[in-house]
Each structure stands twice: as structure tokens, then as C-alpha cells.
Amino acid sequence: MAAPTRTHLSDLRGAARMALDAGAGITDIVERMHRTIQVLPLPLGRGPSDTTRGITGFVYRSVRGSMRLLSRGLDASLAPAMALLPDGDSTPARDAFLSAVNGVYGDYLERTGNPLAIEMSLRRHGRLVDPADPSAAFDAEGDAGPTSKLLVLVHGLCLNDRQWTREGHDHGAALADEFGHTPLYLRYNSGRHIAANGEAFAGLLETLVSHWPQPVTELVIVGHSMGGLVARSACHHGRLARHEWLKHLQKLMFIGTPHHGAPLERGGHWLDFVMDLSPYSAPFTQIGKTRSAGITDLRHGTVTKGGHEHVALPSGVKCYALAATLGARRSLLNERLIGDGLVPLDSALGRHGKAPHTLHFPKDRQWVGYGMGHLELMNRPEVYSQLHAWMQEPM
């Protein structure tokens, strides 16, 4: 059995907080249901807004109070032990678990200061790259030094930088080897608002480019799924802040990006709406509504704060869209409803029923893969061949 490390204890603290907070949330649901049954409202309409009273209310308050005390007690008892333990390295399995948890509950983890919350960072071979001192990462590895051409890859919801490698293939590493780029991978909390991640990503790129060991001559960003929305948001925020890194951005490639939203999140939103119509089912919508801000932003592909502003593709940048459908050939059902299993074809290609909202990818910068799913876009050879062809295009 491996010796305990600070990482193990930090994960334990974070998991314990989540479990106790979940218990308090379930207590709230039970109390709302209890109060509804006491009042017996009509099947449709608003339920009672007040909580239970008397001894019943005292019991519910006691349960919640006990959970808060237990949470504080665990934190207080584990904190001294952490200082005595050595740091521990993460593993691919742990990174995958944290990424999934952050994708679903990331905004809550950040808001509550939970140790499981992922901080945005740039990675190379799974190791941290300091944007203010990127040379240190290359000195420590002893491999080929940084080039003047950067390739930055941005993962999607519930994923992380390690998961660009699938079945022994990594689009980023292969493209970098072929074209002489230095590949870097963004890791971020995909449960935060896309606009918040985009703004942070823009700031990270500004620091990185200004401290890169040699003048940057070319920057290419590849985003899969939500990662493409984060990249678009970064361009938007970088333009507002007049960042210098945008001057080096040559190409922006989107792989299965839901530019106009994903139907699964829209379905979840409508289910919440229907359940809220009855006071007897409304308490249970709290469970569904705990999904992260990042997931709710996928309803319409929101990339700005407030979500009301349409953002066009960045000017002066060659933008490309790769999409897929599970069907082996073209059909209305496969393209409009099913798509790659998560993202419809129109959304991935930037098409919209309202002309002002359409993202204008030139025809020769669109590609559709048939008979492949959303995650398969990350390792299918046909996808890599198309990325390779687009990388060869002159700037």
C-alpha cells in the first residue's frame, strides 16, 4: 500500500466536504417535500415558500447544523496532518476523476474553496508550465527547447489535458512533430462559466507569450467541444483587453464544438421547467439544478458574461470547424438531432436559423466525419488527416 501523501489527504478533505454538503442538500429537499405535504397545495401551481416549524423545523435545522459542525471538525483535524506529509504526484486516474467532478460541480467547488477544485494551468507531458517562466519546464525535462511556434490545445467538458491521448494517438503531439510547433495543453475547471474560463485563458496566454524564451511567430489553438467555446471566449476577452497575444494567433481549429448549444442541456433545462410546475415535484428539481455553470452555458453555447452578446469569429484569424455524425451517410435526423451523439451538425459548423448569429466558416474550412462519435473526434485518423491538411495552409 502506498504511503499517504498531502495529495491523498487533500482529496479526502474535498470528498468529505462534498459528501456533507450533499447531505445538507438532501435534507433541504426532504424538508421542502415535508412542508408541501403538510400544506397540501393544488397539483399545479406554486408550493409553500416557508420552511417547517416547531419541533419538525428544529430537527431539520439540527441535522444541517450537525453536518456543518462535522465538516468544520474534519477540516480542523486534517489540516495539521497535511503539513507533516510529503507532496504526492497525481495519476491519470485521479486526474480523470477530478476532471469529471469539476465538470459537473466545478462552480460549487470553486465557490466553497473545496480542495478538489482545479486551477487553470498550462501543461506539457502532464507537468505544470509556469507562464511567467516557461523555460523552467524545458530545463527540467532536458528535451528539445521551445520553438517560436506555439500549438495550444483546449479540452472539453469533464476532460483534462492527459485525455488528448486516446488509443496511443494525440492530435497535438503529432501535429507539433510534423510542423515544428511546441505543444502546450490547457487544464481548467470545466464547471466554471465558459466566459470566466475564457477570460482567465486570455490572461494566461498574454503572460505566456510575453515571457516565451524567443519571439513568438505563430500561435495555433485547437479546441475540442467546450474547449472551442473557451477559445472563442478568450479571443473575445483578449480583444476587449487589447492583448498582444492575439496578434500572433494565426489559426483556430474547432473539433465538435457546440457553437450554438447542445440539445442534452436544453432537454435538462426543459425538464426542470416541467417539474417546477407542480409543488410536489418541484423540490426534486434542486437535484438537477446542481449541474455546473459550465454545463448550463452549453445550452446555447454562451461565451460572454451575461450570455446576451453574439460573438463572431475573430477577424484576421483562419477558423476551421470539424463536425461529425453517428450516421454512416447524410440524413436529416442524424445531422440535426443526433449529430455526433452530443453536438448537432449545424451547431458544430456554426449554422443558425437567424442569419446574424451564423458563424461564417468558409466552405473549404468545414469538414464532416460520418460514422463517428463526439470523443472519437479526438483520435480518428480521418480527423487528424484534415487537421494536418489545414495546418499546411499558408498563413
Question: Would you kindly state where each structural domain of the chain is located, as residue ranges?
Answer: 6-89, 121-264+294-391
Q: What is the pTM of this model?
A: 0.84
Please enumerate in sequence order all residues whose Cβ is within 8 A of that of 350, keeping only pairs 6 or more positions apart, or say none: 259, 260, 313, 321, 358, 359, 360, 361
pLDDT at 262: 82
Q: Determine the Cα–Cα distance for residues 19 and 6; give it in Å rounded to an integer.
A: 20
Q: Determine the Cα–Cα distance for residues 296 and 316; give it in Å rounded to an integer.
A: 30
pLDDT at 328: 76
Please enumerate in sequence order all residues whose Cβ is within 8 A of that of 70, keeping only pairs 6 or more positions apart, or say none: 20
- pLDDT-based confidence at 23, cuts 50/70/90? low
Going by DSSP bridges, is the β-strand pair 218-224/169-170 parallel, antiparallel, or unpaired? unpaired
pLDDT at 204: 98
pLDDT at 24: 62
Q: Residue range 56-75: average pLDDT?
A: 67
- Tens of pLDDT, residues 344-379: 999 999 998 888 889 999 999 999 999 999 999 999
pLDDT at 150: 98
The share of the chain scoring above pLDDT 70, in percent, equals 73
DSSP summary character for residue 5: -
Q: Residue range 81-98: average pLDDT?
A: 78
Q: Residue range 149-161: average pLDDT?
A: 96
- Tens of pLDDT, residues 90-137: 888 899 989 998 998 899 899 989 999 999 999 999 899 999 999 998
pLDDT for 4 beyond 90: no
Burial 120-135 (b: 16+ CB within 10 A, else e): bbbbbebeebebeebe
pLDDT at 145: 82
pLDDT at 273: 40
Average pLDDT, the chain: 83
- pLDDT-based confidence at 275, cuts 50/70/90? very low
Q: Judge contact between 229 and 295, C-beta under 8 A.
A: no
More reliable by pLDDT, 281 or 41: 41
Side chain identity, residue 149: K
pLDDT at 341: 87
pLDDT for 16 beyond 70: yes
Q: Determine the Cα–Cα distance for residues 96 and 158; give it in Å rounded to an integer.
A: 8
Helix (H, G, I), strand (E, B) or coil at 218: strand
CATH superfamily of 121-264+294-391: Alpha/Beta hydrolase fold, catalytic domain (3.40.50.1820)
- Tens of pLDDT, residues 248-265: 999 999 999 999 988 765
CA angle at 162 for the pair 158 and 164, rounded to the nearest 5°:
80
pLDDT for 278 beyond 50: no
Q: Residue range 388-392: average pLDDT?
A: 97
Going by DSSP bridges, is the β-strand pair 121-124/182-187 parallel, antiparallel, or unpaired? antiparallel
Q: Determine the Cα–Cα distance for residues 54 and 266; give it in Å rounded to an integer.
A: 40
More reliable by pLDDT, 305 or 281: 305
Burial 34-52 (b: 16+ CB within 10 A, else e): bbbeeeeeeeeeebeeeeb
The share of the chain scoring above pLDDT 90, in percent, equals 53
More reliable by pLDDT, 307 or 35: 307
158: phi then psi, degrees, rounded to nearest 5: 65, 15
